[in-house]
């Protein structure tokens, strides 16, 4: 059951990143293009391979 929970966590994190303002992204050192690229990843595409 850990893997589906991790996938849900990744999905939610990516959705939350996509909802941040451009000013907030700038403060984090991220661009809208960075976030778009991350948001387009599949839910099972885990950068930490958990």
pLDDT tens-digit readout, 1-50: 699 999 999 999 999 999 999 999 999 999 999 999 998 998 889 988 85
Query: Number of H helices and number of E strands within the chain?
Result: 3, 0
Residue 35 forms part of a structural domain: yes
Residue 44 forms part of a structural domain: no
Residue 50 forms part of a structural domain: no
Residue range(s) defining the domain that contains residue 18 = 2-39
Residue 18 forms part of a structural domain: yes
Residue 19, pLDDT score? 96
Domain count, the chain: 1
Residue 48, pLDDT score? 85
Residue 27 forms part of a structural domain: yes
Residue 7, pLDDT score? 92
Residue 18, pLDDT score? 94
Residue 44, pLDDT score? 85
Residue 50, pLDDT score? 56
What is the distance of C-alpha 15 from the center of its chain? 6
């Amino acid at each position: 059951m850990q893997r589906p929970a991790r996938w849900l966590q990744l999905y939610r994190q990516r959705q939350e990143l996509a909802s941040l303002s451009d000013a907030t992204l700038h403060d984090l050192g991220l661009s809208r293009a960075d976030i778009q690229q991350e948001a387009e990843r599949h839910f099972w595409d885990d950068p930490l391979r958990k």
